[in-house]
Amino acid sequence: MSMPWVKVDDRIAYNPKIINLSDGAFRLYICALAYCQSQLTNGGVSKRVLAAVVPGARPQLLGRYARELVDQGLWEPDDQGWQIHDFIEFNRTSDHWKERRATDAERLRRWRSQQNGHDKP
């Protein structure tokens, strides 16, 4: 089954929006990218799950880190929490991954059926 993966520019450390981030904000940004792709949120980070995005992070600091990301233009506030700026522009959508999973599941079902002799003449 296909696993979602997230794209991170190999020059991210030199991006003007990234350079001035605190280490905690940078970690939140990277973890949020991975979280959003793994959970198929299309770049949405809700306030409800913010603490789960960075395991082991001190919850009282996460709000400050989120504000840093907003201030640098990396996150945009919305009704649920935040949206990662341009997430869909650089990453596959949840629809892509759902379709890919369905295709992979069907291919695996057919292969298993052939292995069990169901499709043999």
Token pair, residue 48, equals: 């409800």
- Over 70: is that where the pLDDT of 104 sits? no
- What is the band of 19 on the pLDDT scale with cuts at 50, 70, 90? very high
- Strand partners for 34: none
pLDDT category of residue 53 using cuts at 50, 70 and 90: very high
**In this structure, what token pair is assigned to residue 66?**
């989120």
The whole-number average pLDDT for the span 59-84 is 95
User: Any idea where the domains of the chain sit in the sequence?
Assistant: 12-115
Q: How many CB atoms lie within 10 A of CB 96?
A: 14
What are the structure tokens assigned to 94, written together? Answer: 């949840």
Better-predicted residue by pLDDT, 89 or 25: 25
User: Which CA distances in Å does 117 have to 66, 104, 106, 112, 121?
Assistant: 55, 20, 17, 9, 9
Q: Model confidence at 78, in pLDDT bands (50, 70, 90)?
A: very high
Helix (H) or strand (E) holding 81: strand 81-84
Residue type, 22: S
Element (H, E) at 76: strand 75-77
**Is the pLDDT score of 24 beyond 60?**
yes
For tokens 């980070």, the residue is: 45
**What does the pLDDT read at residue 11?**
93
